[in-house]
Each structure stands twice: as structure tokens, then as C-alpha cells.
Amino acid sequence: MKQFDTIIQNGNVVFSNEVKKTNIAIKEGKVAAIGDTLSGEAEHMIDAEGQYVLPGMIDVHVHFSDPGREYWEGFHTGSQMMAAGGCTTYFDMPLNGIPSTIDKAALFEKAEKGNQTSWIDFALWGGLVPGNEPHLAELAEEGVIGFKAFLSTTGNKEFENVDDVTLLKGMKIIAGLGKVLALHSESGPITDWLKEEKERAGKVSADDYLETRPIAAEAEAVQRALYYAEVTGCPLHFVHISSAEAIEKIEEAKRKGMNVTVETCPHYLMFNHHALQEKGAIAKCAPPLRLPEEQKKLIELLIAGKFDMISSDHSPCTSDLKDPATYNLFQAWGGISGGQFSLLSIMELALQYKIPFEHVAQWTASNPAKRFGLASKGEIAEGYDADFVLLATDESFTVTEENFLAKNKISLYIGHTFPCTVKKTINRGRIVYDQGAILPEQPGGHWIKPVQAEEKAASSVN
């Protein structure tokens, strides 16, 4: 029997602090050895000459709609799409499926579906909504990665936004559970009032939509959440931040020593409001794509290291909900479908702005793993899960409906050409995506839990 299952040789390996040409040996789904010369043979050899080997992306923010709305996107198609983009672990948000993940029964129902049909590993968020505060402890005990709440109106009757009292109560409980609260931070009163004013006046264009979700609405919600976190001691993670003003407030909180992290999404860096003007509802999201000058600021903030991580906020739907002929843009579904292209987007920006690839690995893998307690993921190091993506930077990739593996082929990215391409994706030693094809024939992803939950489960068995 040969010593290793697989050896990846001659790749430019992207570690957290350097890029080095070396070899990686894999045994039983783990990194067994790293070195220029490896003593031992392998059953399989992968020649990565000229390619970059990065840790597989950990996307902490996707919306698959299993169970209940898998015709929007389910674990089966969604996980294949993520694998095609170099993702080896994703965190599924608690809304859009039916039921929402707001109690233990719903958590187990979703986890079972994921274990049966996901091609790559996944974690699950729990929800904070009015009335489910008594269920937060059981969700934490069973291994949710954290909790998610909305400060603006959701438009989703199964997952309502929190009022201020629910938010404070929930924060106090979540702090006591040692978990993180992720927040969609837009002021509900501001956005709802502006929307009513516009619709009453019959103003429903792209420009009108942007004006109903101003930067002030994001900044106000971020600041309010930070004040509440000071009072309750709750760790916060701000999702899809889209403005420099909000980042200023988060930076101030970090300087004060608060337990806060922040993500932005590739679509805020790659596109701007002109896309909504030109393409309509396909480019609608919340917060909205900003004006070009704000997009430029976000790129500068990325380069300066002000974002902790990059996440897709993959939010798919069926074509009727994104009907480009919809006159009233306010009625169209707000979400960007593009989880497959997050890593490629950040690599494009890295190539364009000469950002070190180590920073890409930090934003897409090591920082998410550290923040959310995934002790065996996020790094290329001995003993860690063998989660990798092999990238070619000398080969372009043009997005088409055929190579976009989501269930519904509706994306702002269709037609975009990236200056790089994903060659292979490896999850715990298994090749799950290779040269445009999904492998193997059967799904093999697992529901993973943060370290604390894994330790509790082990202690209850012993």
C-alpha cells in the first residue's frame, strides 16, 4: 500500500504568509505532509505546474432554499455551483427555505437534506426573529455556526426582521452562548418610508430604488447595532457592507476593542449602479449596488485590509421573480446569484491591483475559519482538511448559462470574462470539480460545526 492517497506536486502554494512552489501530500482527507521532496508514494498524482493552489474558499453567506423552495436553489445544485467556483465549505443562511431555521426541528430537517445532497461541506446559520428567543440555546447546542437577523423589512413572512427589543434580548442571549450575530444592517424605518414615498409618487426606476436605500440607512443601522453590542457584549458580524461610511463606524468599534468582523461581496466591488440602470432587476440587491465613486472607495478599503472576509451572498430565485420587464423594480426579487464567481472576482481584483494572493487566501479561507471556529479548515497546513482550489492565472473564463451551474441561469455575471479560471476543487481529499465537470457521481459533503459544538458532542458520547 502506498503511503499517501494523493500528492499535488509543483504547485504555487498560497499559504497565509507566503506563496511557495512545493508539494502537498494527502492521506485520508487530511494534509499529511508538505515539502519540496516527499518521502513516499501516492495512489494519485496531480501535476499543478504553473497553477496556484489556494485553500478552498469558505463562503460564510449563501442562501440555498432547501427545504421548501429548492426550485430556487437547493443543496444539490447549489453545492455543485459552489464547488465549480473553488468553494469547499459554505454557510447556509436560515431564511428562504421553508421552514426557516429558527428552532431545532427546522435545523435538523435542513441538515439532513444537506447531508444527503451536498457535494461539499457546509455549516448552518440559525435565525433570530421575534418570538424565537427561547430556541436560541438549543440551536447553539446543536451546532449552528452563529445567528442571523435583519434590521430592515425582509419581505419574507417566514423570517421577519427584529424590533429593537428583540434585538437587545437576542444579543444578550447570543453573547451568553458564545456565538456571533450576523446582521443585515439597513434601517427599516428609513428604507420603508422612502419606498412608500417613491411608490406613492409612481417613481419606481433604478435611480429611485437606489435613493430608497441610501448609505445613511446602512450607517445608521450599523451604528445602532454597535451601541447595542456595547450594552450586551454580543459579538457581531456585519454582512454585505456596501459603504465607506459604515466601515468607518466598524473600524472605530474595532479600535475600541469590540468583537466585530465585516464582510463585503464581490458584486459591490465588480459592479456599480450603472448595472442596475442597464440590466434592471437582475442587478437588484439590498443594499443596492452603489455609485461608481463609492465602488472605488470599497476597492480601496479592500486593498487597505479593512474587510475581514469576502462572501458571495448568493441569493437566487426563479426567472419570474427577476422578470426584466418588471416596470416596478421595487416588486422584483432583490438578490445577486453568483456564488460560483466569488473567488474568481477577488482573483481578478488581485491581478488588477497587484494584491498579494496571501491576502486573497486570508479573506476567503483563513479569516472565516478563525472567526467561526472551524479548527481544521482555512489553512494549507499539516493536519488540516485537504480543501484546495487549483487556479490558472494564464487562462480566462467567460461566464455562460452552460458553465454557470446554478439551478436558475440568472446572473449579473453572465457574459463577464475573468482573467483566471478554476481548474480543480478538492474537498477533504476528494476531487469534486475537475476541468468543468462535477465529480464524483455521489455527493459527499458533511454538516460541519464549530469547535465548541463538536467538543460538546464528543463529551456527551464518552
pLDDT attached to residue 116: 96
pLDDT attached to residue 462: 31
**Segment 352-365 mean pLDDT:** 98
pLDDT digits (tens, 9 = 90+) for 187-228: 999 999 999 999 999 999 999 999 999 999 999 999 999 999
Helix, strand, coil share (%) of the chain residues, nearest 5 = 35, 20, 40
Cβ-Cβ contacts under 8 Å for 460 (sequence gap 6 or more): none
Half-sphere exposure of 391 (CA within 13 A, CB side): 33
Q: Give 256's pLDDT tier (boundaries 50, 70, 90).
A: very high
Task: Please state, in angstroms and rounded to a whole number, the distance separating the CA atoms of residues 223 and 205.
Answer: 29
pLDDT attached to residue 440: 83
Cβ-Cβ contacts under 8 Å for 248 (sequence gap 6 or more): none
pLDDT digits (tens, 9 = 90+) for 142-151: 999 999 999 9
Cell of 378: 482555512
Pairing of the two strands 30-35 and 19-27? antiparallel
pLDDT attached to residue 458: 35
pLDDT attached to residue 326: 53
Residue type, 240: H
pLDDT digits (tens, 9 = 90+) for 402-458: 999 999 999 999 999 999 999 999 999 999 999 999 998 889 999 999 975 444 433
Q: What is the SS3 assignment for 80-145?
A: HHHHHCCEEEEEECCCCCCCCCCCHHHHHHHHHHHHHHCCCEEEECEECCCCCHHHHHHHHHCCCC
pLDDT attached to residue 405: 97
Half-sphere exposure of 266 (CA within 13 A, CB side): 31
DSSP 363: I
Rounded to the nearest 5°, which phi and psi values hold at 10? 70, 15
CATH number assigned to the domain with residue range 56-371, chosen from the 4 options 3.20.20.240, 3.20.20.140, 3.40.1160.10, 3.30.360.10: 3.20.20.140
Cell of 222: 450599523
* CB 295, CB 270: distance < 8 Å: no
**Segment 76-84 mean pLDDT:** 97
Sequence spans of domains, the chain: 4-53+382-438, 56-371
**Segment 253-276 mean pLDDT:** 98
Task: Please state, in angstroms and rounded to a whole number, the distance separating the CA atoms of residues 90 and 93.
Answer: 10
**Segment 388-392 mean pLDDT:** 98
Instruction: Tell me if the domain spanning 4-53+382-438 has CATH number 2.30.40.10.
Output: yes
To the nearest whole number, what is the mean pLDDT of the chain? 95
pLDDT attached to residue 452: 58
